[in-house]
Each structure stands twice: as C-alpha cells, then as structure tokens.
C-alpha cells in the first residue's frame, strides 16, 4: 500500500492520502518499473489470474437531460438514439438470469437519468431484489441520488452503485455543464453513508491531459474510503456527440493509468471497461498485468459495442485467466 515517497501522507494502517506530485512521479516511472510495482501490489491483494465478470444492461435508454459530451444518450446532441421507457422488472430479471448462466457474477443496471424520479423507485427496488435473489451481486447507475434514495436501495440489498467522476475537477466543466464535480462527490458520499459499495472511475480520451488523469485517480484514492470498484473507460467517440471526433488514447498511456490506479487503490477491483473493442489483445494483456481485474462481458455496454463472449473466452485461454468466483464476502454491504 501507499508509497515510500515523502509526499504521500499516511493516516492509518489501511489508508494513505496521496499527493498529486507523488502520484505523477509513479506514473512517469520507467514502464517496466511501473508495471512491476503495480503487479507486485496486485498479487498482494488478489489472485493475479482471476478476473471479475460483470454484465451491464440498459434498463432505460436515451433522452437524458444531462449534457455529458461523451454520451450518445444525452438529449442535447443529435446522436439519433431514440429514448425508451423504463424496462419491465420481469424482463430485467430474465436478462440477469441469462447473464448468470453465461458466467457473470455481477449484474449492473443503468438508466439514462439525471436522477431517478420517485415514481420509478418501486420498480428499481424490485429489480434489485429480483437480481439479488438469483445469487448475483447487484449494481446500478441511475444518476445523482439523494440520501433517502440510497437508503432505500440499500434496504433492497443493492451491493454497488456506479457514479463515475469522469475526469479531473479542473477539466470537468469542459465535458459537462449540467452538473458539477461537487454534485458527483455528494452522490458518492450518500452511497457510502447508506452502506452501499462504491463503483467510481473515469474516461480517458476526452481531451484531458495526463495531469487530469492523475488528478482524477488521486481524487478517488483520497475519498474517505477508496471505491471498491474503479472502472477505467477508453472513450468510444459517439457520432453526433460533442466528442465524436476525439483522437484516440495512446495505448501505453492507458496502461500506465491502469497501473497507477492499482498502486493508488490496492484493494479495489480495477475494471477494464468501455473501449475494449478498440484494444488489441496485447494491450488488454498489459492492462491485466498492470492490475486490471474486472471486465464487462456481453456484446453491448449500454449503447456501445463490447467484445463478444467468444472473443473474451479465447483471450482468457491464451492468457491463462479465469473468472473470479463470487465469495460470501462479496455479497456483504460495505462497512
């Protein structure tokens, strides 16, 4: 855990408050040194050849009031995506059952909302209970939440709530203007207070600098408790969106970011998330070596393409990787 540098501040046996300058030094280590350090930390906390498998379902697509520049579901951009109503509970549970049969242990449900309305909460709670009854971990991403909403979801048995900070506080307003960085942190605080595990990460390739990426990871690592799950997404430029013409991320820079996430957050699941369709098998292999140990399976992520299960299974065979089993501790609420 932590670092030997003097710029990080130890504040307890399991928590180090990171300094941006020290994190930057680690990020800029010779590539082999960075990967060795990240892999060493990874092995201290996880089986290095086990990868957690999640499945993501869009339970309500399009028509979102937020203006996130990366998103095809925003009503602010002419992406051609038609808005849908909230999916029926029975269908969500049926899809979760198929995901479990396909090897997924965590089921993530996403709705394109600024925040859920009270009229939708009963159905959302029923979805959580139904998926939980299948013996899977449950995760939702519904936009901003009040404390009362998080408490209601916690009562239904929700294991994880995803709410990405997306980028650094400095760069945030360049991507989103309909909410603030502080709004994101407030929802994360509400989720944590309700006893739900936190899933929070960001997106690379939106025009941010390397310093922005480092700052984003330091913000996450310095939360009162690091997120249990940290998805690192590579931007998929969506036609019609603000970032439709964004240039691709340098693969080595992406792997460095994965390695830094592992070092700063040793006990978190670091998810190699959106953008895997644009990654070579070799790039994904380096990400797993750098400490990524979670992926989404299935052919779609909300509205974006994802490698199919056959491709993932072949890659896992080539690398000697295996699905991470779901243990009893994984089903318990965060402390």
* Residue 68 falls in the annotated catalytic set: yes
Please tell me the distance from the alpha carbon of residue 209 to that of residue 195, in angstroms, as a whole number: 34
Residue of 192, 271, 276, 287 marked catalytic: 271
* Residue 287 falls in the annotated catalytic set: no
Please tell me the distance from the alpha carbon of residue 306 to that of residue 285, in angstroms, as a whole number: 16
Please tell me the distance from the alpha carbon of residue 330 to that of residue 335, in angstroms, as a whole number: 12
Residue of 37, 68, 152, 262 marked catalytic: 68
Exposure string of 142-158, with b = 16+ CB inside 10 Å and e = fewer, is bbbbeeebbbbbbebbb
Residue of 71, 106, 184, 192 marked catalytic: 71
Residue of 37, 152, 184, 199 marked catalytic: 199
Contacts of 300 (CB under 8 A, 6+ apart): 56, 306
The H or E element spanning position 318 is: helix 309-319
Exposure string of 234-259, with b = 16+ CB inside 10 Å and e = fewer, is bbbbbeebbbeebeebebeebbbbbb
How, if at all, do strands 197-199 and 9-10 pair?
unpaired
Contact between residue 143 and residue 94 where contact means Cβ atoms under 8 Å apart: no
* Residue 199 falls in the annotated catalytic set: yes
Residue of 37, 64, 184, 213 marked catalytic: 64
Residue of 37, 55, 106, 139 marked catalytic: 139
Q: Interhelix angle for 89-101 vs 118-132, to 10°? A: 30
Residue of 108, 152, 179, 213 marked catalytic: 108
The catalytic residue positions are 64, 68, 71, 108, 139, 199, 271
């Amino acid at each position: 855990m932590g670092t030997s540098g003097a710029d990080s501040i130890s504040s307890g046996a399991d928590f180090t408050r990171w300094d941006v300058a020290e994190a930057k030094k680690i990020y800029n280590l010779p590539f082999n040194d960075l990967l060795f350090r990240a892999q060493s930390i990874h092995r201290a906390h996880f089986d290095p050849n086990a990868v957690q498998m999640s499945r993501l379902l869009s339970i309500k697509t399009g028509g979102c009031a937020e203006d996130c520049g990366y998103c095809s579901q925003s009503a602010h951009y002419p992406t051609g995506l038609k808005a849908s109503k909230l999916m029926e509970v029975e269908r969500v549970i049926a899809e979760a059952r198929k995901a479990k049969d396909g090897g997924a242990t965590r089921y993530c449900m996403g709705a394109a909302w600024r925040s859920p309305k009270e009229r939708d909460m009963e159905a959302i709670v029923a979805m959580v209970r139904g998926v939980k009854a299948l013996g899977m971990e449950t995760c939702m991403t519904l936009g901003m939440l009040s404390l009362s909403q998080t408490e209601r979801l916690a009562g239904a048995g929700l294991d994880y709530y995803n709410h990405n900070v997306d980028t650094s506080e400095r760069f945030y307003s360049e991507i989103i203007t309909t909410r603030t960085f502080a709004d994101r942190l407030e929802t994360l605080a509400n989720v944590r207070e309700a006893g739900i595990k936190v899933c929070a990460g960001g997106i690379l390739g939106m025009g941010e600098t390397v310093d922005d990426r480092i700052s984003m990871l330091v913000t996450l690592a310095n939360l009162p408790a690091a997120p249990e799950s940290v998805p690192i997404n590579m931007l998929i430029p969506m036609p019609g969106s603000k970032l439709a013409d964004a240039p691709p991320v340098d693969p080595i820079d992406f792997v460095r970011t994965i390695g830094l996430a592992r070092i700063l957050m040793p006990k978190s699941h670091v998810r190699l998330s959106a953008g895997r369709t644009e990654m070579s098998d070799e790039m994904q292999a380096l990400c797993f070596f750098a400490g990524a140990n979670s992926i989404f399976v299935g052919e779609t992520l909300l509205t974006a393409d994802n490698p199919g299960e056959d491709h993932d299974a072949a890659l896992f065979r080539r690398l000697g990787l295996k699905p991470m089993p779901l243990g009893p501790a994984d089903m318990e609420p965060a402390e």
